[in-house]
């Protein structure tokens, strides 16, 4: 049994299941953090890195849950494959 592959598979499952089942939670948190930081910059806060405002405006959070759900399903499938391969490993 490959313990490293098994551990990576478990981590993929643990991170993928919430993304697949509840993507709106992550999206809403990202939207709140994005709008809060943009409001801070509008109020005169200093940028933490070069052109932070430009990057915030260029890459806003997703408007839909579809991409987050797809990434979660992909992680779950990869996690299942990793666990299966680590358990059935021969050699």
The answer to whether the CB of 76 falls within 8 A of the CB of 17 is yes
Q: Taking a C-beta distance cutoff of 8 angstroms, is the pair 89, 1 a contact?
A: yes
Query: In terms of residue numbers, what domain contains 29?
Result: 3-87
Residue 70 pLDDT exceeds 60:
yes
- pLDDT tens by residue, 6-64: 999 999 999 999 999 999 998 899 899 999 999 999 999 999 989 999 999 999 988 88
- Total domain count for the chain? 1
């Amino acid at each position: 049994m490959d313990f490293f592959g098994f551990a990576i598979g478990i981590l993929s499952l643990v991170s993928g299941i919430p993304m697949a089942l509840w993507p709106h939670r992550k999206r809403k948190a990202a939207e709140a953090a994005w709008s809060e930081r943009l409001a801070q910059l509008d109020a005169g806060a200093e940028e933490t890195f070069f052109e932070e405002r430009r990057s915030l405006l260029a890459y806003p959070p997703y408007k839909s849950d579809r991409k987050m759900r797809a990434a979660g399903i992909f992680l779950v499938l990869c996690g299942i494959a990793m666990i299966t391969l680590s358990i059935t490993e021969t050699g």
